[in-house]
Amino acid sequence: MREPTTTSLYAFAKINLGLHILQKRADGYHDIETVFHRVNIFDTITVERNKSDRVVIQCSHPGIPTDQSNLCYKAAEYFYSEIGYDHELHISIEKNIPVGAGLGGGSSDAASVLRACNMLYGYPLDDNMLTGIASRIGSDVPYFLQAGSACATGRGELLEYFHLELPYWVVLVYPGVHIDTKWAYQSCTPNREAKNVNLKSLIQDNMLQPQTWVNALRNDFEPVVFQNHSVVMRVKEALIKGGADFALMSGSGSSVFGLFQDEVYAYEIAHSLSKTYDVWTTPPFFSPESIITERKAGV
């Protein structure tokens, strides 16, 4: 049987259920602790072999670079370097995840390219080899190679996957502010006291007690982002006033999500904020696999 020459994958966004910046490392990175969890917004990545003698990237978003600075290009380049082939790939990105929003869109896209390349070439690389390549591309990229939620430590590449079902409506809001991740890390102050908090246990043990999250779950990027971009803080305040049981900025920002037990409150605030910002709603107990199955079935 001939190997396929084209495949399309959904690259889902993530939110961070807590994000602690523990310390700056000797290599210039920071040690962190966070929990990654996917939500219902995704890019569509289509990868095709043999369409050219080089890596070519097309993107529906005019602001996304299509040269070697694109993480998808780096993913293809590293993959070819590992297997010893010449470049021969066409990558199409249908972009829905906003850029500089703390949702891991670029990282998710790059991981999808790695997975697609591995499939199109007959799976020459095992999971450990793919993870090694992903770590070279970016700290968040390894997470998107596998399904599920994960507790991330180190610079974000040390992953403990686990099953996490959120019994909440997730209202995700992008205020239209691009936050540079490098700037955010340079500007934040490490929270050494956070070393005493186990995010995974905190989340799992208090899943139905969101008030505990309010008191204990933090994103250490929030102070510096709120100080420099007050609109992000106003979005968080709006979600809380709109009935969110818990709200937090995702990643280095600027997206903010709110968790709602009440569906009516969730849709009312989503409708209100959508008049000004980009808003997405994820249902309780969401899994990306359900969306993939529905799309394949034409639902």
3-state secondary structure of 98: coil
Catalytic residues: 14, 140
For residue 297, what are its two tokens?
Answer: 């079935």
Question: What is the C-alpha separation between 224 and 243, in angstroms, rounded?
Answer: 25
Question: What is the C-alpha separation between 142 and 214, in angstroms, rounded?
Answer: 29
- Residue type (1 letter), 68: Q
Q: What is the residue whose two structure tokens read 């210039």?
A: 28
- Residue type (1 letter), 103: L
CA atoms within 13 A on the CB side of 126: 1
For residue 251, what are its two tokens?
Answer: 């990643």
How many residues would you count in the chain? Answer: 299
H runs (alpha helix) in 22-104: 71-83
Q: What is the residue whose two structure tokens read 């920071």?
A: 30
Angle between helices 71-83 and 105-120 (to 10 degrees): 30
Angle at 254 between CA 237 and CA 104, to 5 degrees: 130
Residue 65's contacts (CB-CB under 8 Å, 6 or more residues apart) are none
